[in-house]
Amino acid sequence: MKSKYMFGGIIVAVFLGLMIYLFTQSNIQYENDFRHVMAKEKIVKATGFWVKEKNYNIDKENKTFTFYMADQNGMEMKVVYEGTIPNNFETATSVVVTGQYRDGYFHARDILTKCPSKYEEESVKASSL
């Protein structure tokens, strides 16, 4: 009889542990100030712009993509992503990287790019007429 209670208790403990883990993973903050990104020891979503003057590097041997991005204040941060360059990276108006800053650079586990909308371009053309 005691083994049933122990087994049930273990299942409840594992379930609660899993729920706490999933909750903490979904509670990722957006940061557009790299001073805050560099100070935090947890996973964040950093928002900024690709620094085109510093170009980017694709290391096919190690399967990494490295680039520099700047925040709204002009502060720059090196980003290393284990994966390939996103298709629309060069035309992106902003970049959101998910990961953690440690060892002097941002370890990205995901990259999202925002590209200029064709509707925004049309409205700019229409307003200049």
CA distance 98 to 67: 14
What pLDDT digit, counting tens, does each position of 51-81 carry?
Answer: 999 989 999 999 999 999 999 999 999 999 9
CA Rg value for the chain? 21
Q: Domain spans of the chain? A: 29-127
Cβ neighbors of 32 (< 8 A, separation 6 or more) are 46, 47, 48, 71, 72
Identify the band that residue 119 occupies on the pLDDT scale cut at 50, 70 and 90: low
Query: Which superfamily, per CATH, for 29-127?
Result: Nucleic acid-binding proteins (2.40.50.140)
The closest alpha carbon to 112, from 86, 80, 83, belongs to 86
What pLDDT digit, counting tens, does each position of 96-113 carry?
Answer: 999 999 999 999 999 999
Higher pLDDT, 10 or 124: 10
Answer yes or no: pTM beyond 0.85.
no
